[in-house]
Amino acid sequence: MLTVDPRDPLPLWRQLEEGVRNLVAAGSLPPGAAVPSVRELARELTVNPATIAKAYQRLCDAGVLEVRRGEGTFVAAGAPTLPRAERRRRLLQAARSYAAHAATLGLGVEEATAAARQACEELEETNRDADANRERSKR
């Protein structure tokens, strides 16, 4: 699932570009997978379509995405993916950062774990809703 944070100092197009790169590299978006259209993703994220188009164009230029005229935009066949060990390393790095943040808030392991589980469940629900909305918009 792609998200953007308007408070983040990174430009929105850069956040999108990095988000797609990470999803592709982690294998969440496999080669040949369709990505949402510019208009669809702009509507979903409430972002200007030009912002999405810029991120997609940069990803096409980098060989991560490819445009198939009349069909849409897809993950390129030769798009780079991360080995399992690298994905695990990145996850552990993020988990350490989360654990440190939870500790500074005075939360114990149980509370931190419960919050992480809740966040994962909310993300899954958001993904299901986004998939359902995409399917409805195709009809």
In the numeric block, which tokens belong to residue 71? 């069909």
Looking at residue 120, what is its pLDDT?
A: 86
pLDDT of residue 75: 96
CATH 1.10.10.10 occupies which residues in the chain?
Answer: 1-81
Convert the pLDDT of each residue in 29-84 to its tens digit: 999 999 999 999 999 999 999 999 999 999 999 899 999 999 999 999 987 777 77
- Residue 110, number of CB atoms within 10 A of its CB: 8
Question: What number is the average pLDDT over the span 124-139?
Answer: 70
Please name the residue that has the structure tokens 């440190």. Answer: 100
Q: Give the CATH class of 1-81.
A: mainly alpha
Kindly state the average pLDDT of the residues 6-18: 94
Burial of 37 (0-12, 13-18, 19+ CB in 10 A): middle
